[in-house]
Structure 1
């Protein structure tokens, strides 16, 4: 059985939990207390090279990074979540958006709302006085405008449903925790509802 090294408040961990539930793949969850620095051990480094969650172990193979895990799970267990040609290029592009634009806007903005600025700065690798809240909000607004435009043109990010939707959904499911009202982005709101209605869907609050 797959072991997921998990933290219930992590949007990246939630992406993996969501896909596992959508494809009805059994797993066991192992809580890693990131806030207590329990991920900063040599033992955990054997599973996750950067000592970050999420990570999984499957048949003796360790895979870390939420996007790598999503692709691995889809390739091995759920190829229906991989966009075929010619849409696969769009899938990889939106996975990159999740790993870069979201990871540098909405994701850290939400972090500053759910933990102290000092704790957020620690996880972002900057000193507290360099925590640029205005810049995070500006980058988040720009990202939301761009994804709103995309989803106004197509129901799924890669034109067809794929792991790219799960990757980008992870933190958009938590947008309200970042102080974002998605009613201002009707196409994003409708896309989020489409995912919410998929068979096997679990909310971010669900813990296995």
Structure 2
């Protein structure tokens, strides 16, 4: 049985829960209260090197980082979610967008709205005075604009007729855009892509 170390409000945890639901893979969830710093223990560090959620235990293997977990699950249980060689590079490029551009824009911007600037600064490892919310807003508009442009050209981020793990990686926080005070109607192709994901068999919404 897989064990997912999880927090219900985390977008990174949500993308893993969503993927597990889409591939029909059973797991048990272990709640980690990161707001109460319950992740900052030596025991949890043995599971997750940076004491972050999500983390997955699969047999004797511990995997941390949401994108590493998604790729592990796809390789191990759902290879149909991996792009074939002609589109493999595009899949990895959009996973990188999730790990970099989204993680440095929409993800922290949403955090400031959900937990406030002081708690967001703590999780981001900066002082509150250095929290650049206007910069987050500009970067968020840029990355959502680029995603919208891509999705106006193709149904799925890596191209092709079916989604890949890249779509789930980027969807995790795109699904929560309204919690960052984003008007998703400004990005019609991205909004349509979100609806396509919501129509996939096994889909579960954020918070579930």
The answer to whether structure 1 residue 199 and structure 2 residue 201 are counterparts is: yes
- Cα-to-partner distance string for 1:114-147 (whole Å, 9 max, x where unaligned): 0021100000111000000100000000111111
Offset at 1:60? 1.3
Aligned length: 206
SS at match of 1:159: coil
Deviation readout 1:97-125 (Å, 9 max, x if unpaired): 00000000000000000002110000011
- 2:40 and 2:86 map into 1 onto residues whose CA distance is 41
Deviations 1:133-170 (A, max 9, x none): 10000000011111110000000000031000000000
Give the equivalent residue in structure 1 for 2:33: 33
Paired with 2:173 and 2:108, the residues of 1 have a C-alpha distance of: 10
Query: Following the alignment from structure 1 to structure 2, what is the Cα–Cα distance between the partners of residues 120 and 96?
Result: 23
1:64-88 residue CA offsets vs partner (Å, 9 max, x unmatched): 0000000000000000000011100
Structure-1 residue corresponding to 2:179: 177
> Hey, what does 1:165 align to over in structure 2?
167
RMSD: 0.5
The yes-or-no answer on 1:131 pairing with 2:131 is yes
CA distance in 2, matches of 1:57, 1:134: 38
Whole-angstrom CA distance in 1 between matches of 2:39 and 2:158: 34
Q: Distance in 1 between matches of 2:15 and 2:187?
A: 21
Q: Flag structure 2 segments of 5+ consecutive residues without an equivalent.
A: none
- Structure 1: any 5+ residue segments left out of the alignment? none
For residues 82 and 35 of structure 1, what CA distance do their matches in structure 2 show?
Answer: 34
* Corresponding residue SS for 2:56: strand
TM-score, normalized by length of structure 1? 0.98
SS at match of 1:38: coil
Give the match's secondary structure for 2:34.
coil
